Amino acid sequence: MVALPQIPDPTLALADRALETAENSIPHRPYMGMSAIGAECDRQLWYGFRWASPKRFDAATIKRFHDGHATEAVAVARLKSVGELEVHDLHPETGRQFGFEDFEGHFRGHMDGVILGLLQAPKTWHVLEIKAVSDAKFRELEKAIEKVGEKLALRAWNATYYAQAVLYMDYADLDRHYMVVCTPGARRWMSIRTNADPKEAKRLRARAQAIIAAQSAPTKISESPGWYICRWCDHSAVCHEGALAENNCRTCLHATPAPGGEWHCARWDKGLAVAEQRAGCPAHLYLPSLIQGEQIDAGDDWVEYRLKDGAIWRDGGATQC
């Protein structure tokens, strides 16, 4: 029998579009996250910190995010139901999520919690992290544990999760990390324990500091937009195709990170609140490394470039804000 074609439900399609509109309107995070610093490409991280490109997720991806949040809550509740365990997903003193920050507030992270009483190590506090993954990723972790053992499996399985783990241990001054990895809905779960790695934590902190301080884009990880990392990068159009980055204070050559997680504008000699950074101003001038062209002339409030196709383009020209 020939399979009948599937006719999309227009009502559900409309609901998906509403979901995309709501989620994609969430503004850029104002700091570099410890959950991201394990990514392979320095340039990708710098673009993210500089708000170069909008984040756009389709409905299927957004639903996976929502599944992940719901699964994490289920897993934490199950752990809390075990009388032998002491589980804190919020700081007992503040009632907030456990958080850390460094480099004058521009590098931040929030861990899922801490746990004590694991049967494997009942007297040792562990950083607690919950991750919801696909069935395929779940199987990959099982294979990594079989291949290299539990304590080395996280690094072999997911470099980004490993970076997050070693940083949280370092900032929390704890020597152990306990990750519970679940399939959607927490129908299947397994755990993986990881030891502290001070050397790697130091390297990651130094990397974050360098990217935060950089006034120009780091070297590309690949010149090919088809490279697997570049193909799925939010910033591929800016990096490889010459698309203009977003117009905001983070992409402007006048703005630099300042203490307290704030930014400073040299053009107007003022601090910039997050809302002001997002809005930008008429005196905006792109950081030169965001323009794929040769700088050929400049004035007090403009810069002229010869683009790759030979066209001449002038950035700026505003005299008032």
Q: What CATH number is associated with residue 34?
A: 3.90.320.10
Q: Which residues have CB under 8 Å from 232's CB, separation 6+?
A: none
Domain that holds residue 283: 247-316
**What is residue 4's predicted lDDT score, i.e. its pLDDT?**
61
Q: Does the predicted model carry a pTM greater than 0.85? A: yes
Q: Are residues 300 and 154 in the same domain?
A: no
At 253, give phi and psi (nearest 5°): -70, -10
**What is residue 3's predicted lDDT score, i.e. its pLDDT?**
67
Q: Are residues 265 and 134 in the same domain?
A: no
Band of the pLDDT at 318, cuts 50, 70, 90? low
Q: Which residues have CB under 8 Å from 58's CB, separation 6+?
A: 20
Q: Strands 32-33 and 270-272: what pairing?
A: unpaired
Band of the pLDDT at 319, cuts 50, 70, 90? very low
Burial 112-135 (b: 16+ CB within 10 A, else e): bbbbbbbeeeeeebbbbbbbbbee
Extract the tokens encoding 187: 């129908």
| Single residue among 171, 198, 213 that ends a domain in this structure | 213
Q: Tokens 């755990």 identify what position?
A: 191
Q: Are residues 167 and 262 in the same domain?
A: no
